[in-house]
Amino acid sequence: MVLSLQLKNDQADNVLNFFRQDHGYKDGSYIKIWQGEEDNVHLVDILAKADAQSSQFADEVYQGLAARYPKA
């Protein structure tokens, strides 16, 4: 169980890194603070509500981030 949770946390960290890259991290346009909170805080909140057993876990986390990320 603990190993499974650690793998999900590692997977979630990877999702956040991909999300950052997809939203301009490399060119400096990525916004790290959303609605007054760092992206990591949003990730923790999304993980608290996510189904860690879902086969779509990574997609659900990514979509959760996308839903909260400031729109241009």
d(CA 28, CA 3): 34
Global pTM value: 0.88
Under 8 Å between Cβ of 56 and 10: no
**14 CB-near residues (< 8 Å, 6+ apart):** 58
Separation in Å, CA 17 to CA 2, 31, 39: 23, 13, 10
pLDDT of 9 reads 79
Does residue 2 surpass a pLDDT of 80?
no
Could you report the per-residue pLDDT of 29-72, keeping only the tens digit for each? 999 999 999 999 999 999 999 888 889 999 999 999 999 999 86
